[in-house]
Structures are given as C-alpha cells and as structure tokens.
C-alpha cells in the first residue's frame, strides 16, 4: 500500500510526462544547459528566457567557453535580462568548475551549492534534473503548491517556513524519478496551481489537496506584503565631445555594479537641479561642465528601489589631466557594444533625438 506522499509523487510524475511543455532546455540533459536555464529563469519569464537561452548557449557552448570569456562579453549576452550579478556569478562559477572539477559540472547537491550564485533551489534543480539525484528543488512556485496541498499558513517569506518547505520537498521527492517529479511540481505551479486562479479541476493532485477541501486555495500562500519601494531621484548626464558621448564604469559594488552607463549620481536634496551630477563629474573624474539643458526623465523600478532618472545635457568645459580607465568616449555605434543597463537605455531616446 502506497503512502499518500508516494501517491502524490506518482501522480505528479505521470502527469508531467503527459503534459510537459517543449522547452529548449528540456531537449537536453547536459547539466551546463540546465544550469544556465535555471539561472535565467530565476527572475525572468519563460517566453523571454527562450530566446536568450539559445543565444547564450550558442555564444558560450561549453563551461570552458564561458570561463574564458571576458566579463563584458558575458554581460553583453545578458543585456536585457537584468539582475546582472547572475551573469557575473555564472562566469565566476564556470572558472571555479574549470579549476576544481576539470570543466565538468559537479554532481552532488553540496558541491553545486558551493558555486557562486547557486542557492538551494538551483543546486536541487541541477542535481535532480541533470543527474537524477533525489533532492528537492523548492522555489516560490513550489512553495505555493505545498502551502495549498498541505494547507500551510506560515508566511513563505520567513526562514522557518522556507525550511519547512525544503523538508517537505525532501520527504516528497520521488526516489526513482526525481527529475520528472521536480519538474512536475514546477510545471504544476506555472500552469495549474497559479497565484490568482488555480485551475483545480485540471490538477493531478486535487484529491490530496487540503486547501481545496477547505475552499481556501486562493487565500494561500500567506505572504507578507512587500514594503513600498523607496523612491530616489538620480541625475544622469550626457556629455559630448564631437560626435562621441561620455560613458563611465559604475562602481564594483552596489546597484548595476561594474556596468558601463552614462555618468549618474543620486540627487543631493538641498542642491539645485543638475548640480549634483556636475559635482560628481568634478569630484570623481576631474571634469568641469556647464549645464546646457534638461532632456527628460524616466522611471525605473528595481526590487527594493525606484529611480526617477533625470537626464541633463552638460557642456564639457575642462577635462581633467588624469587618465581614468573607467571613462570612455564612444559614438552611438560603439555604444551598442556595451551592455548598457535597461534603466539607462531608456534615456537613449533623448540622446538620439537631441
Ligand atoms: S487542487 Fe488546486 S490549489 Fe490544490 S494543488 Fe491543485 S491546483 Fe493547487
């Protein structure tokens, strides 16, 4: 006689094999491919990832190719996906795999977890999907399914609840078909047990679902509302030299770290409009500028912060004698070779027009 856990695992596995979507990374069991797709899918929709995934694998077909690539080339291939630390960590992890594992992706959950940018979910996904290891892969979608299936009312943002979910995943994961089981759970969360209107009548585990029995499936999972994003005003500048514009490399720490962008700085509350960025150019790059005009503004929303980006045209009056490696003058064609963050790309319409 099967336990209900085993029956749930069987139902899910069978359902997944029958209904799974054809996605490019599912054509492969190559752990490198699975890893890239899982990292891309962390904060991005499947439809968007499909195109990026194919292009990335073509550009960097092996772990070795990724490890040997320039960071700027990897960031360029990532351009538009956002959360650039994911791309940087992929490259760093590829270098580590070359150095420690001779270029072969490690197989165990623990070894995977030690790679930069790989958390419990990704380690579980790669170990189970690529190597068929019976370990859980619990992300937000899976936590939603578990909350409903077992009528759990803990806040899924809290560490204790996450720990509990991980334990349920370990207990439930099919020992014979962990790959199909984990992908079945992800597919269920993505297609059937969706956040606002779960399609319970199509659900393969409906007869086991506690929340459905209680009629409270739409009230779960419990998740504390996010605090409102802090809003800040960022002043950015277009500074020209002939037909070239100034771009600078952002600091190695913080938001959009190490990416090339137009010079920018958070507006100093007490300062006049356009003064903070002029001050920044002087302090950071020994460059004197005059305010020529205001070009426009765009809003860009990050996870915890909202930028109101105001763009000013500044006239170069004196360029510092110092040679800063993190400063470049580029024409509009050259600019396309840089992985300009989306927030700054939004400003291009003002620059191209002016
Ligand atoms: S029955 Fe409904 S709420 Fe329960 S797991 Fe299935 S889709 Fe989700």
Give, for ligand 1, the residue of 211, 219, 221 to mutate: max count of ligand atoms closer than 8 Å to Cβ.
Answer: 211
What is the structure's pLDDT at 264?
A: 96
Is the pLDDT at 292 greater than 80? The verdict is yes
pLDDT band at 322 (very low <50, low <70, confident <90, very high): low
> Is the distance from the beta carbon of residue 8 to the nearest atom of ligand 1 less than 6 Å?
no
Cβ atoms of 215 and 148 closer than 8 Å:
no
Q: To 5 degrees, how large is the angle CA 71–CA 341–CA 55?
A: 60
Report all structural domains of the chain as residue ranges with CATH numbers, in order of start. Answer: 4-219 (1.10.340.30), 230-353 (3.90.79.10)
pLDDT band at 291 (very low <50, low <70, confident <90, very high): very high
Q: Which atom of ligand 1 is nearest to the CA of 204?
A: 6
Residue nearest to atom 2 of ligand 1 (CA): 200
Give, for ligand 1, the residue of 8, 188, 203 to mutate: max count of ligand atoms closer than 8 Å to Cβ.
Answer: 203
pLDDT band at 319 (very low <50, low <70, confident <90, very high): confident
- Residue 22 — φ and ψ, nearest 5°? -85, 110
Measured between its terminal Cα atoms, the distance across the chain in Å is 74
DSSP letter string, 147-211: HHHTT--SBTTSHHHHHHHHHHHHHHS-SS-HHHHHHHHHHIIIIIS-SSS--GGG-TTGGG-HH
CA 219 to centroid of ligand 1, rounded, Å: 12
> Is the distance from the beta carbon of residue 77 to the nearest atom of ligand 1 less than 6 Å?
no
> Is the distance from the beta carbon of residue 192 to the nearest atom of ligand 1 less than 6 Å?
yes
CA 203 to centroid of ligand 1, rounded, Å: 6
> Is the distance from the beta carbon of residue 200 to the nearest atom of ligand 1 less than 6 Å?
yes
Residue nearest to atom 3 of ligand 1 (CA): 217
Is the pLDDT at 349 greater than 80? The verdict is yes
What is the structure's pLDDT at 228?
A: 79
Query: Helix or strand or coil: residue 43?
Result: coil
Active site residue 288: no
- What is the pLDDT of the chain when averaged over all its residues? 93
In sequence order, the β-bridge partners of residue 265 are 235
Q: For residue range 41-94, list pLDDT tens digits in order.
A: 998 899 999 999 999 999 999 999 999 999 989 999 998 898 888 999 999 999
pLDDT band at 354 (very low <50, low <70, confident <90, very high): low
> Is the distance from the beta carbon of residue 211 to the nearest atom of ligand 1 less than 6 Å?
yes
Give the DSSP letter of residue 223: -
Question: How much is the average pLDDT of 178-206?
Answer: 97
| Helix-then-strand count for the chain, H and E | 16, 7
Q: Which residues contact 162 (CB under 8 A, 6 or more apart)?
A: 138, 143, 156
- Asked, as a colleague might, if the bond just before 56 is cis with ω within 30 of 0, I would say no
Q: Which atom of ligand 1 is nearest to the CA of 205?
A: 6
CA 188 to centroid of ligand 1, rounded, Å: 9
What is the structure's pLDDT at 351?
A: 86
> Is the distance from the beta carbon of residue 203 to the nearest atom of ligand 1 less than 6 Å?
yes
What percentage of the chain has pLDDT greater than the value 90? 82
What percentage of the chain has pLDDT greater than the value 70? 98
Q: For residue range 294-304, list pLDDT tens digits in order.
A: 999 999 999 88
Is the pLDDT at 213 greater than 90? The verdict is yes
CA 152 to centroid of ligand 1, rounded, Å: 13
Give, for ligand 1, the residue of 141, 146, 205 to mutate: max count of ligand atoms closer than 8 Å to Cβ.
Answer: 205
Question: How much is the average pLDDT of 262-281?
Answer: 92
126: burial class by Cβ within 10 Å (0-12, 13-18, 19+)?
Answer: buried
> Is the distance from the beta carbon of residue 142 to the nearest atom of ligand 1 less than 6 Å?
no
Question: How much is the average pLDDT of 296-325?
Answer: 88
**Rounded-to-10 torsion of CA 247, 252, 258, 262:** -30
Q: Among 118-127, 129-138, 159-168, 332-341, whose mean pLDDT is lowest?
A: 332-341
> Is the distance from the beta carbon of residue 169 to the nearest atom of ligand 1 less than 6 Å?
no
User: Active-site residue among 6, 17, 27, 38?
Assistant: 38
Question: How much is the average pLDDT of 230-238?
Answer: 95
pLDDT band at 353 (very low <50, low <70, confident <90, very high): low
């Amino acid at each position: 006689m099967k336990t209900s856990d085993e029956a749930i695992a069987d139902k899910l596995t069978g359902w997944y094999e029958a209904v799974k979507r054809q996605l490019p990374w599912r054509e492969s069991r190559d752990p490198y491919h699975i890893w890239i797709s899982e990292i891309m899918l962390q904060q991005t929709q499947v439809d968007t990832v499909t195109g990026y995934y194919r292009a990335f694998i073509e550009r960097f077909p092996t772990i070795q190719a990724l490890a040997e690539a320039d960071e700027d080339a990897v960031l360029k291939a990532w351009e538009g996906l956002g959360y650039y630390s994911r791309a940087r960590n992929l490259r760093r992890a590829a270098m580590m795999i070359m150095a420690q594992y001779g270029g072969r992706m490690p197989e165990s959950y623990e070894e995977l977890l030690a790679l930069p940018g790989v958390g419990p979910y990704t380690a579980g996904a790669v170990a189970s999907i690529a190597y068929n290891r019976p370990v859980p892969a619990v992300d937000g979608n899976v936590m939603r399914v578990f909350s409903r299936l077992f009528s759990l009312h803990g806040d899924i943002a809290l560490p204790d609840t996450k720990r509990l979910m991980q334990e349920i995943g370990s207990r439930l994961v099919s020992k014979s078909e962990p790959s199909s089981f984990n992908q079945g759970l992800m597919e269920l969360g993505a297609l059937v047990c969706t956040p606002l209107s779960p399609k319970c009548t199509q659900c393969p585990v409906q007869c086991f679902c506690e929340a459905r029995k209680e009629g409270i499936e739409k009230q779960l999972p419990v998740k504390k509302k996010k605090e409102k994003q802090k809003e800040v005003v960022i002043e950015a500048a277009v500074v020209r030299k002939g037909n070239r514009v100034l771009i600078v490399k952002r600091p190695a720490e913080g938001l959009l770290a190490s990416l090339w962008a137009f010079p920018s700085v958070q507006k100093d509350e007490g300062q006049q409009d356009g003064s903070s960025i002029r001050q920044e150019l002087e302090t950071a790059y020994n460059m004197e500028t005059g305010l020529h005009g205001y070009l426009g503004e765009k809003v860009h929303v990050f996870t915890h912060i909202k930028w109101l980006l105001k763009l000013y045209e500044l006239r170069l009056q004196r360029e510092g004698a110092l040679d800063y490696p993190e400063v470049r003058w580029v024409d509009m064609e050259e600019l396309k070779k840089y992985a300009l963050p989306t927030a700054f790309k939004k400003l291009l319409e003002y620059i191209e027009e002016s």
